[in-house]
Chain A
Amino acid sequence: MLEVEGVTKRFGEVEALGGIGFQLRPNEILGLIGPNGSGKTTLMEVVSGLLPTDSGSVHWEGSHLPPKKRKDIIFYLPDGVLPYEDQAAIKVLRLFAEIYESPSQARKLAVEELGLGPVLGKRVGALSKGYRRRLLLALALLSTQPVLFLDEPFDGFDVKQVIGVMSLLRKVKSTGRTLFLSIHQLHDAERMCERLLLLSGGRLLGTGTLPDLRRQAGLESGDLEEVFLALT
């Protein structure tokens, strides 16, 4: 289990994260939701060890996990990156497969499930936005860390593709990996995640399953959107 305790992050005068704490249970899909600028990406980068924290700690299976060691446990896929645009997609996939020593099944799964076959020989820079997103997801699937942090994994996909990616991520979960997803679309988050973290203004406003969040919002019924509006 990954345990985050009292994580605080300031950018000058602005407090981006104020004492965030949560648990990521083994083999679950945890969703991170919140309005724009609520600190979702910052939280992911801080916990994955890419950004320094001002205070707080991260534990893995009961032991302290220093920032330098976090890459052994967590793979974080940032949103909006464009790796190696002048290289062919196949070369980038091969690089990740080689560096992580990914099993050949994982390579096959990544290429087939994400439908990357037709564009493997194309330069990354020449790929459409949808294919770029698929390539990035494929790179995350080639990593071998037990915990995956994905920032906006459904961004750039149409409705049908989103369903496909959800199915793929469930398959990933079935292999024993734990997923932490930052999701902008509340409808997608509700369908995909087992538990949710609601972040706003760098503060954790609610955590738990949808019924838990409803209770925290004082609502008897309603979907995630209504809960979100009630809590923020």
Chain B
Amino acid sequence: MRSLSSDGMRQLGILLKKELCQLLASRSLLAMLLIFSPLVGYSFIQAVSLFSEASRSALQHTELAPGMNPLDGVLVPTLGSLYLVTTLLFPFVAIRPIGMERQTGSLKLVLQFPGSVGLLVAAKAIAVFVLWVGALSPALLALCFFGGMGGHIHPLELVPLLLGHALYAFVILGAAFLISALADSASTAAILILGLTLGSWVLDFAAGSQSPGLLRDLSQLSLTASIRSFERGLFSFAVSARLLIMGVALLTSTAACLHAGDTFRSRAKRSAGILVTAILACFLVSAVPWYRDFSEDRRNSLPPEDETALRQMTGHLKIFVFLSPDDPRYRDLERQLFSKFRRLISGVEIRLMDTGKTALFGVGGGDDYGLNRYEYEGKAEESRSTSPREILPLLSRLAGKTEQGTSSFFYPGYPLVADAERFSRFSFMA
């Protein structure tokens, strides 16, 4: 990659300053911050309140304590408000740098500035992203407050959590830029980008509990689904790289669309080239099975011996699941086992079978409902269990192995009874 010359750096600095000044003076940013601060405060207070209620029982019955995890109980719900704001309000801030300049005609002046269009787009993107990071402060303040109340925060768990939200915001930013470069006015761009973010949310929400099919497959592509693994403390190289590639491709396409003097055909050609390259790159990075479990309770990992044994299963493992997607047992299996199998066993195929049960109060499809079937190299076993303690030995038997993993790891849990009401004042001040 060609390094930026000192002239380019000087121009970037000037443009960055200009973009920051404009954004700081904009009402959309002010509105986002005015809504975000109380929203964080409310989410945090609610999360701490629920966590405290559950902690009371855990303090009385120590066997319940390992279930008291601040990541699920406080960190994720508090940053959930960030997700809402990034989905619903951040697009209005992100369309502004290009949308308003298009609308007022100043883009014609800016495009004549020395330096490339790429530099211009980069300055705008950096400015918006810097302000997004700045807008995190109420959420970070809430987490500091939680620590101050005696709450436990495992710092490493924050790494994937914040990274996931940052990558999600980066993609939204890229999409907002591209849409505002294509749309005639800032208001049209606002409607389109909101349609995209809400569409992605609805797709995940509506299709997530559907039976297997195209809609369910599509829901896996939703942006909302992509940050879920980060919320579980899991860093996935493939997911991170895919989001990063998407964001960069959208910004590069924006620069291609803004190239003054280019015909529509040449812009479309360049954008298509960028899109195809990005899809290929996403496809390539998806094949890199590199993960790191940052969660303190190691929820995304199995005992090391089991992980080694599963990695050695190079054959084709078929799992036929006779459960409805909204059945809690299926969710347990997915969380505790299937998601890990997909990372560890290259040849795993998990099929969610049609059970005829489509609604929450639907009737199960006969005696086989809940009886899942595992097939590996001509051998098969069936089990109704959702516990790793039963399923892992079952797989060992199928693989013809006798040794089983034993884990000495113990997560103590961090119950906390606290009152976060005092934070409400801080959140409004922030």
Co-complex (A, B): yes
Which residues on the A side are within 8 Å of B104 (C-beta)?
81-83, 85
Interface stretch of the complex, out of B220-228, B260-268, B280-288, B325-333: B260-268
Does the CB pair A99–B113 fall under 8 Å? Answer: yes
Partner of A83 from the list B109, B260, B261, B266 (CB cut-off 8 Å) is: B109
Known: A50-B111, A72-B114. 19 other contacts (CB 8 A): A48-B112, A49-B261, A52-B261, A52-B263, A52-B264, A67-B262, A68-B261, A71-B260, A78-B108, A78-B109, A81-B104, A81-B108, A82-B105, A87-B25, A91-B21, A98-B14, A99-B14, A100-B114, A139-B109
Q: Given A85-B104, A100-B114, A70 and B109 touching (CB < 8 A)?
A: no
Does the CB pair B22–A87 fall under 8 Å? Answer: yes
Which residues from chain B sit less than 8 Å from chain A, CB to CB? Answer: 11, 14-15, 18, 21-22, 25-26, 104-106, 108-109, 111-114, 259-264, 266
Over the window 118-161 of chain A, the binary record of Cβ atoms lying under 8 Å from chain B Cβ atoms (1 yes, 0 no) is: 00000000000000000000010001000000000000000000
Q: What separation, in Å, do the CA atoms of A115 and B146 have in the docked complex?
A: 57
Partner of B112 from the list A76, A84, A86 (CB cut-off 8 Å) is: A76
Q: What separation, in Å, do the CA atoms of A226 and B249 have in the docked complex?
A: 57
Which residues on the B side are within 8 Å of A77 (C-beta)?
109
Subset of 17 A-B contacts with CB under 8 Å: A48-B112, A49-B261, A50-B261, A51-B261, A52-B261, A67-B261, A67-B262, A72-B114, A75-B112, A82-B104, A82-B105, A84-B18, A84-B106, A87-B22, A91-B21, A100-B114, A143-B112
Q: How far does the Cβ of B14 sit from chain A's closest Cβ, in whole Å?
A: 5
Q: Given A95-B18, A99-B113, A49 and B260 touching (CB < 8 A)?
A: yes
Does the CB pair B261–A81 fall under 8 Å? Answer: no
Over the window 41-79 of chain A, the binary record of Cβ atoms lying under 8 Å from chain B Cβ atoms (1 yes, 0 no) is: 000010011111000000000000001101110011110
Specify the chain A residue showing the minimal Cβ separation from B265.
A52
Count how many chain A residues have C-beta atoms less than 8 Å from C-beta atoms of the other chain.
30
Q: How far does the Cβ of B141 sit from chain A's closest Cβ, in whole Å?
A: 28
Task: Enumerate A88-115 residues with CB–CB distance to B below 8 Å.
Answer: 91, 95, 98-100
Query: Closest 9 CB pairs between A and B?
Result: A67-B261, A81-B105, A83-B106, A49-B261, A52-B263, A86-B25, A71-B112, A82-B104, A50-B260
Q: How far does the Cβ of B115 sit from chain A's closest Cβ, in whole Å?
A: 8
Q: What separation, in Å, do the CA atoms of A52 and B264 have in the docked complex?
A: 8
Q: Given A50-B108, A52-B261, A84 and B113 touching (CB < 8 A)?
A: no
Which residues on the A side are within 8 Å of B264 (C-beta)?
52
Q: What separation, in Å, do the CA atoms of A27 and B261 have in the docked complex?
A: 26
Specify the chain B residue showing the minimal Cβ separation from A91.
B21
Q: What separation, in Å, do the CA atoms of A70 and B108 have in the docked complex?
A: 13
Q: What separation, in Å, do the CA atoms of A77 and B25 have in the docked complex?
A: 25
Which residues on the B side are within 8 Å of A95 (C-beta)?
14, 18
Which residues from chain A sit less than 8 Å from chain B, CB to CB? Answer: 45, 48-52, 67-68, 70-72, 75-78, 80-87, 91, 95, 98-100, 139, 143
Specify the chain B residue showing the minimal Cβ separation from A74.
B112
Q: What separation, in Å, do the CA atoms of A81 and B104 have in the docked complex?
A: 6
Q: Given A76-B112, A99-B113, A86 and B261 touching (CB < 8 A)?
A: no
Specify the chain A residue showing the minimal Cβ separation from B109.
A83
Q: What separation, in Å, do the CA atoms of A85 and B266 have in the docked complex?
A: 33
Does the CB pair A52–B262 fall under 8 Å? Answer: yes
Q: What separation, in Å, do the CA atoms of A75 and B110 have in the docked complex?
A: 11
Q: What separation, in Å, do the CA atoms of A45 and B261 have in the docked complex?
A: 9
Q: How far does the Cβ of B340 sit from chain A's closest Cβ, in whole Å?
A: 52
Which residues on the B side are within 8 Å of A84 (C-beta)?
18, 22, 106
Q: What separation, in Å, do the CA atoms of A143 and B114 have in the docked complex?
A: 10
Which residues on the A side are within 8 Å of B113 (C-beta)?
71, 99
Q: How far does the Cβ of A63 sit from chain B's closest Cβ, in whole Å?
A: 17
Q: How far does the Cβ of A125 sit from chain B's closest Cβ, in whole Å?
A: 10
Q: What separation, in Å, do the CA atoms of A5 and B206 have in the docked complex?
A: 58
Which residues on the B side are within 8 Å of A48 (C-beta)?
112
Specify the chain A residue showing the minimal Cβ separation from B117.
A68
Specify the chain A residue showing the minimal Cβ separation from B262.
A52
Specify the chain B residue showing the minimal Cβ separation from A139.
B109
Q: What separation, in Å, do the CA atoms of A52 and B257 have in the docked complex?
A: 13
Which residues on the A side are within 8 Å of B261 (C-beta)?
49-52, 67-68, 70
